Copies of this chain bind each other. A is one copy, B any other.
Amino acid sequence: MSRYRAIVEYDGTEFLGFQLQAQGRTVQGELERAIADVTRSSVRVTGAGRTDAGVHATGQVVAFDVYWRHSVEDLQRALNAVLAEDVAVRKLEITRHDFHPRFDAAARSYEYVVVTADVRRPLLRRYAHLERRALSIEAMQSACEHLVGCQDFAAFGKPPQGDNTVRCVHSAIWRMGSRNRYVFEIVANAFLYRMVRNIVGTLLRVGRREISPEHVRELLDSRDRNAAGPPAPARGLCLTRVYYANDGLWQE
C-alpha cells in the first residue's frame, strides 16, 4: 500500500462541488470511482480545497492510499483513461504516508476571471463572469491593498470549522488580459468558506464605482458578513495551485 498525491484539473460546471455528497456528481466521487475501477479497491480521496459547485481547478491537490503493482505512470494513464472528460490527473507521485493535502498546505492560490461585454459571450460563459459595463481596474487594485496581510476576514466568509476567521493574504492582484478580460489572483495561507467569491463580489462593486476602495477597509473592520456584497458567481473561479512547505517546486 502506498500513498499517492495528484494534481487534478476539473471543469466544475457539471459538478456539485469537490466534496462527496449523498446525492449528485462530485469531483471526489468521480476520482474515487475511477480509482476503484482501475485498482479494484475501495479508496477514500482527500482534497486540499473543498471547491463549491461550478468552481474549477487546474491545481487541486488530492491524496489517497492504494495498492498498485505497476508504475506510477501506468496508474496515471489508467486513471485518465477511465475518468470523465471533465476531470484529469495532471501529475501523480508517491508521497509520504502521513501527507495530508489540506492540513499540510502552506498556501493556496485562486484566479477569478471577469469579462466585460455588453452582450452575452457564449464561448466564455463556462469559465468567466460577465460584467455588462467597463470596470475601473485601478479602483479594484487600490482596494486590494486593504486585503493583504494577516487579519480577520469574518466579513468575507465563515470558517469551515471552529471560529477562527483570521487568514493571511499574501497577495491580491488584478491583471488585465486581452479582449476585456480581467484576472484576479489571490494567494493566502488558507481561505474561509466562499471567501474568494465574497471578496470578488465586493471588488466588483468597487470596480463599478458603487463603493470606494477605502470602503473595503471598513467592511473588513466591521467583521460583519452581511455588510459585504453578494458573492461573485462560481463560474469565474479556479483553484490554481496549492503550496507545500519545502516543496515549492513540486507543482512545476
Contact = CB atoms under 8 A, between A and B. Distances in A.
Interface of A: 9-11, 56, 58, 76, 80, 85-90, 119-123, 125-127, 238
A90 B119 contact: yes
Given A90-B119, A119-B90, A125 B85 contact: yes
Closest CB pairs A-B (n = 8):
A88-B120, A11-B122, A86-B122, A9-B122, A88-B122, A10-B122, A90-B119, A11-B123
Nearest to A88: B120
A124 B239 CA distance: 15
Nearest to A177: B178
A123 B85 contact: no
Contacts of A121: 9, 88
Copies of this chain, how many?
Answer: 2
A251 to B, nearest CB: 14
Contacts of A238: 123
Contact of A76 (B56, B119, B122): B119
Nearest to A87: B122
A22 to B, nearest CB: 25
Contacts of A10: 122-123
Nearest to A118: B90
Contacts of A76: 119
Contact of A58 (B56, B88, B89, B123): B123
A166 to B, nearest CB: 32
A171 to B, nearest CB: 20
Contacts of A125: 11, 85-86
A104 B77 CA distance: 50
A153 B120 CA distance: 37
A59 to B, nearest CB: 11
Contacts of A80: 119-120
Contacts of A127: 123
